[in-house]
Structure 1
Amino acid sequence: MTSADLPESRRSDAKRAQDQRRRERMRSDGSVERYTAEEIGARDDWVCGLCQDPVDQAYQHPDPRSPSIDHVRCIAAGGSDTRDNVRLTHWGCNHERNASTPLGTVEEAETQRAVLLRIPALRAYAESLRAEDMVRRSQAFHSPERYRAKLARRVERYEREGR
């Protein structure tokens, strides 16, 4: 059941609880810094960290081209809320990435494969995976070209819906 399935009063309670858990994770890590989108944008030369295209400050949310801050290692996975762990992105690129992080090394792929091996329904699939292939597919999935294409589709839909 998602929060969208709940009545309005319970949905706000669920959202508050979710926000509280996120704040507790951030506090327990101990690494929290104050920063602004303008500060991170200036540091990153107003270039999206995912699609590598310029980010225009004139666009405002919910436009997919609007500036957004992306946590390189998401907080849910133990990332910190610090300048070193954030980058500027388009909102659409950030939304497309969600909590998915590209595999950078064979060791990371082996770790992910080990998790899959522990799940009975996925064991046969995990046994067929090669770490090198996992890294290659992950890098292709997170390529700037793919983010550009996804952003273009989001912008087209956004404009077609006349928002």
Structure 2
Amino acid sequence: MSDLNEVGERDNWICWLCDTPVDPDGSVNSDLGPSTDSYAAAKAKKGADVVERLAHRQCNTMRGKIAPVVPWSKDLFVVDPSPIFESVERLKAKGGREIVARCPDENDANQAAEWLLDRLSRLAPDSKFATEIKPGGGQFMLALRLDR
């Protein structure tokens, strides 16, 4: 198990679930205090590498009770965004690509793509993703794929 400070520094003290700051000086017993979340990088394989991510204690606890919801930024202009966590899990299991959002213009699509790749660096640090932006029907489709 890694040192909490090492994981926090690596993740810039941002919770991988809610994407908000975690207080590095907060009590580990506080709901908003820092904790680490461990998961097997390749769940299907025995002896898989374990990856640790920073989370608020409350976010980490709730993740054990209900499926995590990783929100899209309210600063982005995206239409019909896909649930990020579920899209990542499907792509990691089956590969391919998936349309994850529609945007009204190319600039909005580029901003959403940049934000999404940054977000995924915390959500799935063991995986590398790429985005594709395609025009169609007067809008721009943002697709996500696992970059192998």
Structures share fold, TM-score greater than 0.5: no
TM-score if structure 2 supplies the norm length? 0.40
> Which has a greater percent of strand?
2
From the CA coordinates, give the structure whose radius of gyration is larger: 1
> Which has a greater percent of helix?
1
TM-score if structure 1 supplies the norm length? 0.37
